[in-house]
Amino acid sequence: MPPRAQITGWGKYLPSRTVTNDELAQALDTSDEWIRQRTGIRERRLARPAEGAAEMAVHAAREALRKAMIDPGEIGLVIVATSTADQVFPSVASIVQYAIGANRAGAFDLSAACSGFVYALSLASDAISAGSIRAALVIGAEKMSGVVDWGDRNTCVLFGDGAGAIILQAGDPKAGLLASVLGSDGSDGEALVLRSRPGEGAAGQGPVIAMDGRRVFRFASRIMASSLREVTSKLGLAVSDLSLVIPHQANQRIMDAACEELGYPPDRVYSNLERYGNTSAASVPIALCEAADEGRLRDGELVALVAFGGGLSWGAAIVRWGRTIRPPWHVAVRGRGRQLWAAILWQWRRLLRLASSRRRRPS
Ligand code: COA
């Protein structure tokens, strides 16, 4: 039997600054009531100006490594799903790889909008099952506050910043990722777009999200239900066999509509949308972390992850929760030492870079 990718660690990072609907309503023609009723969102976290997707990803990755008790030197692949990297390269994944001391890992960023984390999970799991690697770090990290137009009430109220990470390790087939489906329909891509407005990128405005909300809503409700049906049927199961569904956190009404279509109980759909809004590729791993920390994932149970977004794209995966891999204590201690050393080096390099950029700045 080929090895199965098991989730052995998870971590999240949310910026400390909370922005409520009422605060948004002070600068925008909107209200707490409208946002709550139409979306389910009460507040979101916003990163500091200097805090990018990479920094948030590093924090989430460190927590996941601690939980997994893995030596970062064992990680073969770092994949970061993001649409809001500070730069095209070096990738966020390469920055994370260095910051955590994963000195034997390949690293790349993956672009599949809000579906990105499920795509990355599926690819990393296949690499483990094929025997190419023994462990992977899979992250979703987004600074959505940097790509929304803060004057557009149709979009800016929906999004937030954050990062979530998991460690996948090769284990026996009793637990881990059992099946996944990935999909795309480029014909409807214009419904949700992130690009530079002509002429405005050069003026320093940068890329902004444009969206046909109703079109995306219809697509998302339909695809959440159909991809859950598809992925469960791959295993000869029904959606009702799932103990918990962890969906992309975009709109409470999307989750409720999918539940209604499937006849699935809404109390078995995990939602933290109220507190964080839509953090794009980070939303599924952040929700996974919270569900695990709250004890909502029990060993042996089936949990589905499902996401949809720009592309238009979608993905769903089924995991049998639990881990059969426990590292011996000396490997855990060695891993902790390597992480600490990598963190010291990373901070040192950042200070050096900061000092040299200050020296170069004309007075
Ligand atoms: N505050 C107050 N009014 C708002 C508003 C806001 N923040 N945003 C939009 N409105 C207004 C609209 O301008 C419109 O006014 P009009 O009728 O005078 O033109 C009215 O509210 C209704 O707009 P509508 O688009 O029908 O609302 P809706 O019920 O579809 O909800 C969304 C809008 C965006 C919340 C909803 O369509 C949605 O969530 N879509 C999916 C978006 C998404 O999840 N994107 C990411 C996917 S990964």
| From 104-118, 223-237, 264-278, 333-347, the region with the lowest mean pLDDT | 333-347
- What residues are paired with 183 via a beta bridge? 314
**pLDDT at residue 233 tops 50:** yes
Which pLDDT score is estimated for 196? Answer: 62
Per-residue pLDDT tens digits for 25-68: 999 999 999 999 999 999 999 999 999 999 999 999 999 999 99
**∠ at Cα 296 (265, 81), nearest 5°?**
90
**Among the listed residues 129, 13, 142, the one whose alpha carbon sits nearest the alpha carbon of residue 66:** 13
Task: List, for residues 15-25, the tens digit of each pLDDT value.
Answer: 999 999 999 99
The minimum-distance atom of ligand 1 relative to the CA of 280 is: 48
Instruction: Tell me what the mean pLDDT of segment 245-251 comes to.
Output: 98
CA distance 146 to 19: 15
State how far the Cα of 219 lies from the Cα of 16, in Å rounded to an integer.
Answer: 33
Residue 59 known to be catalytic: no
- Supply 294's token pair: 């709250």
Contact 213, 275 (CB under 8 A): no
How many angstroms is it from 162 CA to the middle of ligand 1?
23
Structure tokens at 311: 């592309």
Q: Ligand 1, residues 26, 154, 215, 279: which to mutate, most atoms within 8 A of Cβ?
A: 154
Q: Confirm whether 272 is a catalytic residue.
A: no
Residue 122: φ, ψ to 5°: -65, -45
Q: Residue 247 belongs to what domain range?
A: 4-360
Listed as own residue / partner, the contacts of 330-333 with beta carbons closer than 8 Å and 24 or more positions apart are 331/69, 331/70, 331/71, 332/69, 332/70, 332/71
CATH of the domain at 304: 3.40.47.10
Using one digit for the tens of pLDDT, what is the confidence trace for 167-202?
Answer: 999 998 889 999 999 999 999 999 999 986 554 444
Residue nearest to atom 15 of ligand 1 (CA): 154
Is 38 touching ligand 1 by the criterion CB < 6 Å?
Answer: yes
CA of 307 to the centre of ligand 1 (A): 20
**Number of domains, the chain:** 1
How confident is the model over 267-279, as a mean pLDDT? 98
Which amino acid, 124?
A: A
Q: What is the pLDDT of residue 201?
A: 43
Which pLDDT tens digit goes with each residue over 281-334? Answer: 999 999 999 999 999 999 999 999 999 999 999 999 999 998 877 777 777 777
Contacts of 113 (CB under 8 A, 6+ apart): 83, 192, 194, 280, 281, 309, 310, 311, 313
Q: Residue 124's pLDDT band (boundaries 50, 70, 90)?
A: very high
